[in-house]
């Protein structure tokens, strides 16, 4: 049965994103991922067919958001931290360190694109940390926690060497676990 369109909303962008995730979850469950189009999802929340791409780069990113929504906030943070370390240090991960340290060399129009991408990424982290803070599980202010965690992880690009042969080398899983231990209260 086709989803009923909702009236267009002037809700803040974060609420529109939440609407997309909620409706996508329902449609993916009813019709399956392959049977659901971005147009179906947009129509169900009262958006134009291209509008979801303001919030998600593609349908797979929306599927990830649906799956992440089902994870407890602490597990989402663990996955965010470990994934971010992987983005910086796994094989073939030269791209993000270049972006972190050389983005200021771009002309203004390109900087805007990078800033928009960074803002979308930061928003994912911020929602998770806000939820943890509301649950009393975060040791710090949510915004400061985001800045400090990402700053620390990003700085690891200057000192961590995945291919180190040292017997004391810490793997990325352990590095991620230690990062989480710094910011979360243990239950």
95-140 per-position pLDDT tens digit: 888 888 888 899 998 888 888 888 988 999 999 999 999 999 999 9
Residue 27, judged by CB atoms within 10 A of its CB (0-12, 13-18, 19+), counts as: buried
76 in the same domain as 154: yes
161 in the same domain as 141: yes
169 in the same domain as 93: yes
pLDDT recorded at residue 127 = 92
Give domain status of residue 1, yes or no: no
104 in the same domain as 25: no
Neighbouring C-beta atoms of residue 162, cutoff 10 Å: 14
How many structural domains does the chain have?
2
88 in the same domain as 172: yes
Give domain status of residue 3, yes or no: no
Quick check: pTM over 0.75? no
- Residue 140 is part of which domain span? 72-183
Instruction: Name the DSSP class of 184.
Output: B
Q: Distance between CA atoms of 78 and 111, rounded to whole angstroms?
A: 29
Give domain status of residue 6, yes or no: no
79 in the same domain as 54: no
Please write the tens of the pLDDT for every residue from 70-82.
788 999 999 999 9
Look at residue 138 and give its three-state secondary structure.
strand
110 in the same domain as 50: no
Question: What is the CATH number for 28?
Answer: 1.10.10.60
Q: Where are the alpha helices (DSSP H) in 32-94?
A: 38-44, 59-69, 73-89
């Amino acid at each position: 049965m086709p989803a009923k369109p909702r009236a267009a909303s002037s809700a803040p962008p974060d609420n529109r994103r939440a609407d997309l995730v909620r409706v996508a979850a329902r449609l993916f469950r009813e019709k399956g991922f392959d049977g659901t189009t971005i147009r179906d999802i947009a129509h169900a929340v009262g958006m134009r067919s291209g509008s979801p791409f303001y919030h998600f780069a593609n349908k797979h990113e929306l599927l990830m958001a649906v799956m992440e929504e089902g994870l407890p906030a602490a597990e989402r943070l663990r996955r965010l931290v470990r994934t971010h370390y992987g983005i910086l240090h796994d094989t073939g991960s030269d791209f993000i360190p270049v972006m972190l340290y050389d983005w200021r060399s771009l002309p203004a129009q390109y900087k805007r694109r990078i800033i928009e991408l960074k803002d979308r990424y930061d928003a994912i982290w911020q929602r998770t940390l806000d939820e943890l803070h509301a649950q009393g599980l975060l040791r710090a202010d949510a915004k400061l926690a985001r800045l400090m965690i990402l700053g620390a992880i990003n700085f690891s690009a200057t000192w961590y060497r995945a291919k180190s042969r040292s017997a004391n080398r810490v793997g990325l899983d352990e590095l991620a676990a230690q990062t989480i231990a710094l910011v979360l209260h243990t239950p």
